[in-house]
Amino acid sequence: MDSNDKALVFGEDVAFGGVFRCTVGLLERYGRRCFNTPLCEQGIVGFGIGLATQGYTPIAEIQFADYIYPAFDQLVNEAAKYRYRSGGTFTAGGLTVRAPYGAVGHGGHYHSQSVESFFTHVPGLKVVVPSSPAQAKGLLLSCIQDPDPCIFFEPKMLYRTSVEEVPVGEYTIPLGQAQMLREGADITLIGWGAQVHVLAQAAQAVADADGISCEVLDLRTLLPWDVQAVTASVNKTGRLLVSHEAPLSSGFGAELVAEVSRRCFLRLEAPPVRVCGSDTPFPLVFEPLYLPGVERVVDAIRATVRF
């Protein structure tokens, strides 16, 4: 907001600070550049695309990712295709859409969904998911500066639970690059967002109990994803486990497994496995049963290693 006077922050309730306090203080510091919109997701994103084509840097908030669907058409058909269809005349690249996503313990059907895979299927968009505060700052700034439209999914469970030192001042984390959180030899575990912490716990558990050495990758950007880092890791370990909260079928794990299977086929020691949410609507009381928790990941690690 300081360095770019064409940056605007808008969405439902952002002016008072937002339902997750992400925009606290912006109204006071930047006045009219941080403003509330009415309750109309399709309008919010469409409006943002219009601004972007005029060279503005709109940072639109969708209050919960579960509500992003009315804006799906705008994102897929307008934002993603503007430059392509106009032969480079216009671009919606200045647009960044932020949305809290993911399980939070009691969110039920409409405050818990993971929607990333719908958007990773859209050429023209970028999809980014941080897993910690320091990641969030660097990745968000990269999205805002990125010349393509970006969707930034913030794992809401981590707003309160994830605490770390964050460097003051501006810095960016490159998009399209995964980060290795733990080096290992026996199996590659890939996740993003809050699930990365589940993988880290599982990795420690099997290290302690079974002496299995896991390499944990935080993908960070899903579209485009870091093919090099992933294949390098799987070529080293020979095994792959992908885990996400979103339902199993056609979740983003499917893309990773398909591509790794092709590229690393001869190196693989075991079939790549996905540990994911059930193919059901996100439940209310059954949330612990639905989610890919540490126990399920551990089971899958052991089964894969012993294949």
Partner 1 sequence: MALRSASTQLLGRAGLLPAAVCNAFHRCMSTSDKFSVEVLPFKAHRIEPPNNVVETSIDELVGMYELMYKMRRMEIAADMMYKAKLIRGFCHLYDGQEAVMTGIEAALTKEDAVITSYRDHCQHLSRGGTVKEVMAELMGKRDGASKGLGGSMHITAAFGGRGGASKGLGGSMHMYNRQANFYGGNGIVGAQIPLGAGLAFALKYQKKPNVAIAMYGDGAANQGQKYEALNMAGLWNLPVIFVCENNHYGMGTAEWRAAKSSTFYTRGDYIPGLKVDGMDVLAVKKSMEFAKAYALEHGPIIMEMDTYRYHGHSMSDPGSTYRTRDEISTMRQERDPVERVRKLLLAKGYDAAAIKAMEKSVKKEVDTAVEESKAAAIPPNEWLWRNVYVAPANMDMRTVEGTYVQPTYDPTYSS
Minimum CB–partner distance for residue 295 and partner 1 (Å): 6
DSSP string, 217-283: EE--EEET--HHHHHHHHHHHS-EEEEEEEESTTSHHHHHHHHHHHHTGGG-SS--EEEEE-SSPPP
Exposed (0-12), middle (13-18) or buried (19+): which is 127, by Cβ within 10 Å? buried
Q: Would you call the peptide bond into 224 cis, given omega within 30 degrees of 0 as the criterion? A: yes
Size of the site for partner 1 (CB under 8 A): 35
Which residue's CB is nearer to partner 1, number 75 or number 128? Answer: 75
Based on the residue annotation, tell me whether 106 is a catalytic residue of this protein: no
Which residue's CB is nearer to partner 1, number 110 or number 171? Answer: 110
Q: Which stretch binds partner 1 (CB under 8 A): 211-219, 230-238, 252-260, 279-287?
A: 279-287
Strands 187-191, 240-247: parallel, antiparallel or unpaired by DSSP?
Answer: parallel
CA angle 298/227/196 to nearest 5° reads 30
Q: Does 43 bind partner 1 (CB under 8 A)?
A: yes
Q: Which residues pair with 106 in a beta bridge?
A: none
Based on the residue annotation, tell me whether 255 is a catalytic residue of this protein: no
Q: Which of 78, 111, 116, 154 is catalytic?
A: 111
Q: Does 168 bind partner 1 (CB under 8 A)?
A: no
Q: Which listed residue (1, 42, 90, 267) binds partner 1 by CB under 8 A?
A: 42
Q: Which listed residue (20, 47, 70, 259) binds partner 1 by CB under 8 A?
A: 70
Q: Does 50 bind partner 1 (CB under 8 A)?
A: no
Minimum CB–partner distance for residue 276 and partner 1 (Å): 9
User: Which residues, including other chains, have CB under 8 Å from residue 56's CB and lie 6 or more apart?
Assistant: 6, 7, 8, 94
Q: Does 106 bind partner 1 (CB under 8 A)?
A: yes
Helices 252-263/227-237 angle, 10° precision: 60
Q: Does 278 bind partner 1 (CB under 8 A)?
A: yes
User: Which residues, including other chains, have CB under 8 Å from residue 156's CB and lie 6 or more apart?
Assistant: 20, 64, 100, 101, 102, 104, 107
- How many angstroms separate the CA atoms of 159 and 152, rounded? 14
Q: Which stretch binds partner 1 (CB under 8 A): 91-99, 123-131, 260-268, 293-301?
A: 293-301
- How many angstroms separate the CA atoms of 81 and 103, rounded? 31
Which residue's CB is nearer to partner 1, number 55 or number 281? Answer: 281
Per-residue string for binding with partner 1, 239-268, x by CB under 8 A? ----------x-------------------
Q: With contact defined as beta carbons under 8 Å apart, do 119 and 150 qualify?
A: no
Q: Does 282 bind partner 1 (CB under 8 A)?
A: no
Q: Which listed residue (105, 123, 147, 174) binds partner 1 by CB under 8 A?
A: 105
Q: Does 284 bind partner 1 (CB under 8 A)?
A: yes
Q: How many residues does the structure list for the chain?
A: 307
Q: Which stretch binds partner 1 (CB under 8 A): 26-34, 64-72, 143-151, 186-194?
A: 64-72
Give me the active site residues, please: 41, 111
Which residue ranges make up the site for partner 1 (CB under 8 A)?
12-13, 16, 36, 38-40, 42-43, 66-67, 70, 105-111, 249, 278-281, 283-286, 288-290, 293, 295-296, 299
